[in-house]
Amino acid sequence: MRILFSFVLLLGLIPTLCMAQTPTCDTLKGETKAVAQEVMSKAYLYDCCDETITKCLAKTPTCSLATRLANEVCRLAKDGKSAQDITRTLEQRASTMTDINPSVDIALKPENIWGNPEAKVILSIYLCGRCPYCSRHVPAMLRAIESAGLKDKLAVNLRLFPIKTHDHSTEAALAIEAAAKMGQAWPYIIKLYENFDAFSLNSISKYASELNMDATQFSTLLKDKATRAAVVDSKKEGLKNTVASTPTFFINGHKVEGIFDVDSMISMLEEAIEKNP
């Protein structure tokens, strides 16, 4: 009788063990759950475990990447993404987080850094001061980094990439570079983006004044040939690194492929920080 009871108890546990994923995944139901399980049963990890996500989750100890990717899969499934779309996202993530694609050289200037200049993980952002997507995504990225407690663990590196089709992109880039030389690159960028729809050439100096920057020095830097040369060099560097639109992100020199997603970016940054404590 005791043996039979033990066998029945074991049978009762099997579905639970097979279905157990992560707290995020365990909240899924119906079709979204099926989509997530389909992806995790076929997608392999690109580090720390050679099995599928499902099998790696079942190992003890559990590889942290397995949990991280499972959460990513389940979040995307909950957002209504198809198995094909989620699989593509995982492939793009692998190309960013491994040496499948070699890293590129990106200039690193102290005045362009937001966060920890000594951090081993560098998030480089090619942006345009007059890009509507940048005006939404870049501030959102910075807020998410702070909310996740990552600001002191990584360096966010500004790279200028003015887009010709964006009106006054050159003037905005020169203003950002001038502000950078005065130690105000990121506050100035945020100011530009906060007032994106109200931008005018007159506002360039106005924003500097609102940030208590010396008006004479700012005006001089705007006209300085070295300022323009720095913008040109940054644009050339971006073109060399296959940047075609903004914002474009690189994690330790590896290009982040695919559509921008704050949660995915935070997950990848956390993974990179874990690898480079």
| Model confidence, pTM | 0.90
- pLDDT tens for 83-127 read 999 999 999 999 999 988 889 999 999 999 999 999 999 999 999
* Rounded-to-integer distance, Cα 138 and Cα 145, Å: 11
With H, G, I as helix, E, B as strand and everything else as coil, classify residue 125: strand
Cβ-based neighbour number of residue 162 at 10 Å: 24
Residue type (1 letter), 159? R
CATH 1.10.8 residue spans of the chain = 2-97
* Rounded-to-integer distance, Cα 28 and Cα 23, Å: 9
Q: Which CATH number fits domain 2-97: 1.10.150, 1.10.8, 1.10.3470, 1.20.1420?
A: 1.10.8
How many helical (H) and strand (E) elements, i.e. helices and strands, does the chain have? 13, 5
Phi, psi (degrees; rounded to nearest 5) at 99: -95, 25
Percentage, residues of the chain above pLDDT 70: 93
Tell me which CATH code domain 110-275 carries.
3.40.30.10
Structure tokens, 63? 């590889």
CATH 3.40.30.10 residue spans of the chain = 110-275
